[in-house]
Structure 1
Amino acid sequence: MQAEKDRLEIDYKLDIPPAGNVTKPVVFILGWAGSKQHDLSQYSSFYGEKGYTTVLYTLPTDMMFLLSASVVGDIKDISKRIYGILKDNNLCGRPVIFHVFSNAGAMLYRWTSEVFLEKHVSIVGVVMDSCPSRLELSVGLKAIYFVKRQEGIIPYLSYLGRFVSNGVKSRMDGNWNEEVDVYQELKSSASSIWSHLFLYSTNDGVIPSSHILEIADSRKVAGASIVKTVNFEDSVHVSHFKKYKEKYIDECQKFASDCWKQFQDNSKQ
């Protein structure tokens, strides 16, 4: 039991700005596969300067690429631990905004948002950077290359083999079900009608922009309060901030402000 507990301990970072507004939303920044806390801190900084508390966390890479029904169970447990961050730090009364990257962030967001709704946490918005996409083989292969390319050809090919083998084995063993298909879950969700900001590029290189726009359209149909898409056109996967820093920050800060204002207005009714 202790080994299982330790295996699912989460390594997160909580940033509370010194002059933070104690009623503003908490921003959960959920990273892309392979991202580190120092990668996510640059995003935390521009939220922090506006008084938002942030939580930074990235799902383990294997949980993204070696997916199965049993791994989904582990992700659900991690989602409950992420809720515990709110509880342990007396933040449960605060509204929440998610800022998620790539399919790893989108996957964790899908389950964490469900836990938050069960616990009556007010989710007021989500920023989706370079996500989500359908779980297609071509997307998986490109994503693994994106994450593993700097490790060298041998480690890359080895991990590629594990990815393909896991996919085949999971389906043969019946360890694959509808819950694994996060894209369809997000597309058909009747509950996620909070505000959405999609930051993408037609030159992403990993995820087709058509997948992202399909989800955006589904949120409009579902009745989401705000649905905005921003096409950076030539920046690559999860690199829109790096190439268009000022525009990226402006879009995110304005979106967070709009979500916060809308929550305040609804609270007065």
Structure 2
Amino acid sequence: MGSLSGILQRPVLAASAVAIASLSSDLREKLWPEKSLDVSLLCLEEKGSLFEENNSSWVSKISVSKLASLSFVARIHVPLPTINHQILGSSSSSSVPSFRFSSVYPSPGLINLHQSAELVKAAKPALYKYEASSLPSEVSYRWHLPEPSSVDVSGSSNCASVKSRTVVVLLGWLGAKQKHLNRYAEWYTSRGFHAITFTFPMSEILNYQVGGKAEQDIELLVNHLADWLDEEDGKNLVFHTFSNTGWLTYGVILENLQRSDPSLMGRIKGCVVDSAPVAAPDPQVWASGFSAAFLKKHSVATKGIVSGQSVGIRENETAAEVKPEFAETALLVILRKFFEVVLNLPAVNRRLSDVLSLLTLGQPSCPQLYIYSSADRVIPAGSVESFIERQRKNGREVRACNFISTPHVDHFRNDPTLYSSQLTQFLEDCVLSKCGNSMK
């Protein structure tokens, strides 16, 4: 199959142009929306209400050809992301690098900081400093080491040993960058875990090919994880996925693990699914995801809505009035038509079907935690709840928390206390259950 950008380049560029044009119409931005409703009692695996989208009637009358021929579209230059494919070499310094993470990219000069930083065995972990002379702005994944202050150097804590032998793999959402996942990585490393942050550059997604570079990057990550697990017994994995992009990436990782060494599936001790899944190739969901990635904070997807309350909307504007502006509505129409074609291409459909089947029927037996919201405009809450019920029927241990009013992949930022409590309880019960449940 050719690249997506090659197959339907014009509709995507037109969609991007509409997105860029919309930015001038609304420059409002609230960095920290109102704190979401107190929903602690609703996190006892209760079902939230389905979010319903109402498309205005005139939208269906708009054709792709009319939108693509709008005069302003042809005049707008659409910049695509540039990726700095800088290759890491060995450091000329004798010291170990000063950052707590390593940057990893396909290179013969790969630096495995996790091998050289045996913090749990170090007498003085504070002396381990990490320096890197040059790092690419965006790489496939980065390895973040546990914070020295979280390491029990005396070896008296069994839980500290379990944490230091556990890697949490964070799989980013569409359009996520390393800097966006650092906050989550810091949460885990401050508690003694290793963490890996994995992202896809937008250019890789637009140029996706079955078996192409995107899947090669995943294979590189899997090989690195397998090498780390094979170093000694007792090492384990936890996955933390974001949106359908991160969730589908998790499925491809499971495929690679099964193919390379099926026994490694048993080393997965838990999976956290944030703002996903929709376990079907739904064009509307894909259109909403790409629209949100193009428009970022200017997308209506960043504004949580529920029961007459809203997060991040204008003053005196009710939840019912918050609708996509014209440019975003037009973009959604184009993208939906685009994915109606792409998702039905034989090669794409077969690939997605294989991954979705594995995620539905062949996940490891580890516990799962689903974090979602009734206000999510990208992933309907009902789709998440339907998948949760199916997993329970398949005999999986599943927990869930509906944040009710928080936007797509924005639950941690809007309610960090509730988010942290959900993660803490899940890790104590599923990863640290045999060592005294210490997350301090």
Instruction: Give your verdict on TM over 0.5.
Output: yes
In the TM superposition, what whole-angstrom CA distance separates every residue of 1:111-164 from its partner, at most 9, and x where no partner exists?
112323443321111000000113211111211121111499999978985885
Displacement of 1:259? 1.7
Q: 1:231 aligns with which of 378, 399, 402?
A: 402
Residue matched to 1:145? 291
In structure 2, what residue type is equivalent to 1:128?
V
Q: 1:111 aligns with which of 242, 246, 252?
A: 252
Residue matched to 1:16? 145
| Inter-CA distance 103–143: structure 2 relative to 1 (3 Å threshold) | same
Displacement of 1:179? 2.8
- TM-score w.r.t. the length of structure 1 is 0.80
Secondary structure in structure 1 of the residue aligned to 2:378: coil
**Structure 2: how far apart are the matches of 1:213 and 1:155?**
27
Residue matched to 2:154? none
**Structure 1: how far apart are the matches of 2:435 and 2:205?**
36
Secondary structure in structure 1 of the residue aligned to 2:418: helix
In structure 2, what residue type is equivalent to 1:85?
H
Residue matched to 1:222? 394
Residue matched to 1:36? 177
Is there any run of 5+ residues in structure 1 with no aligned partner, and where? Answer: 1-5
Displacement of 1:213? 1.3
Contact 2:140/2:217 (8 A) holds in 1: no
Displacement of 1:88? 5.5
| Inter-CA distance 169–195: structure 2 relative to 1 (3 Å threshold) | closer
Larger Rg: 2
Residue matched to 2:272? 127
Contact 2:251/2:356 (8 A) holds in 1: no
Residue matched to 1:3? none
Contact 1:124/1:263 (8 A) holds in 2: no
Secondary structure in structure 1 of the residue aligned to 2:271: strand
**Structure 1: how far apart are the matches of 2:335 and 2:389?**
34
In structure 2, what residue type is equivalent to 1:11?
S
Residue matched to 1:197? 369
Displacement of 1:210? 1.3
Matched, 1:61 2:232: no
Matched, 1:83 2:229: no
Contact 1:65/1:163 (8 A) holds in 2: no
| Inter-CA distance 247–155: structure 2 relative to 1 (3 Å threshold) | closer
**Structure 2: how far apart are the matches of 1:169 and 1:210?**
25
Displacement of 1:110? 0.5
Aligned length: 254
Question: Larger relative CO (CA 8 A, sep 6+): 1 or 2?
Answer: 2
Contact 2:210/2:348 (8 A) holds in 1: no
Contact 1:139/1:207 (8 A) holds in 2: yes
Matched, 1:177 2:363: no
In structure 1, what residue type is equivalent to 2:282?
E
Q: 1:95 aligns with which of 215, 226, 236?
A: 236
Deviates more, 1:196-205 or 1:30-39: 30-39
Matched, 1:26 2:170: no
Secondary structure in structure 2 of the residue aligned to 1:59: coil
Displacement of 1:65? 6.3
Contact 2:205/2:214 (8 A) holds in 1: no
In structure 2, what residue type is equivalent to 1:238?
V
Residue matched to 1:253? 424
TM-align CA RMSD: 3.3
Contact 1:201/1:209 (8 A) holds in 2: yes
Contact 1:31/1:57 (8 A) holds in 2: yes
In structure 2, what residue type is equivalent to 1:140?
W
Percent identical residues: 24
Contact 1:98/1:125 (8 A) holds in 2: yes
**Structure 2: how far apart are the matches of 1:247 and 1:158?**
34
**Structure 2: how far apart are the matches of 1:91 and 1:39?**
30
